Amino acid sequence: MRASFAHNSGKPVLPDPVQFRGHRGGVISMHRALTHFRLGPMNVTTSISVFLLFSYIWIVALPWLCWLWSRALTAGLAVLPLNARMEVSDHNLRLLRLRIPYLRMEPVLPDLQTWSLTCAVTLLLFAGTFFISKKLMPVIYLSRGILLIQASSLIYFAMWPTRFPHTPESYMEALITAGIGLISVIPLVFGFTYYIFDFGLLRKAALTAMTMLHLTVFLPFQVLVQAMVLQKTVLFMPVLYIVFGMPVQVLIIIAFYSWGMTWSFRRTGMRESEPRLTALWAWSRRCVRRLGNAVLQPTSLG
């Protein structure tokens, strides 16, 4: 222990340069995102402003979007071979009244033919995953995971076919409600994961707008496609919910975020004014503090 203390009390120990090199001897440089990670006052102010702006726009436009979704579902029912009708669920919040549309249809339990055909296809696809090249290992595991979910659904409907607690209409309403909630938190998610990087105000606003707009248009199409599957049988509801429900929407957000992270950061010349803005911010805080002390300090009467 004394030897260790004597060793540490000498010159400062420099980090081992080997830990910054790859397996081929090359230097591992810092990721470009970390070099542009800036949490200055102006960046924080910009992030909060973008978050508040898009949250306000979304809350104001949400009743109109619910009406637009109801029109899209009505048009889909008129064009597609769907045996369903459009219903509206009223949700009264404190300052917001929403009429969320959804599709109502009768639950159809799987008959013996549907169950047997689905079971045979599931087994054949699962066996086919063993013939896929090992280079596509992620595809193999993803396919087997989806097939195992469908297999669990087959087992459930084979043993307890009349005890399935969910109906297509409740699932459709939950899918739209969850989609609304997910779109609502996009500005907050990007505020903690994207706005903190030095991309500039316009690119942050553009990425947020494109992501929210894409999911807004995608949601009624997702509902119509899943309704066409569920009108045949509720046997596929578990795999639709676990794999093709909200996870697809989350993957869309991740895809837009990944695309936005490939954009170029602001040029160095555009960041030269940041030290001046930081100094101006500090000076304004000192002025406010001094003004507050002068107002709160009691005046002497002597």
CB count within 10 Å of CB 41 equals 15
Return the pLDDT at 9.
52
Length of the chain: 302
pLDDT at 112 over 80: yes
Residues 6+ apart with CB under 8 A from 156: 164, 238
Residues 6+ apart with CB under 8 A from 236: 150, 153, 229, 230
pLDDT at 272 over 50: no
At 207, list the tokens.
């990425």
For residue 4, the number of C-alpha atoms closer than 13 Å in the C-beta half-sphere is 1
pLDDT band with cut points at 50, 70 and 90 for residue 5? very low
pTM for this one?
A: 0.74
Is residue 146 a contact partner of residue 125, using CB atoms and an 8 Å limit? no
Distances from the Cα of 284 to the Cαs of 45, 102, 278, in angstroms?
Answer: 14, 52, 10
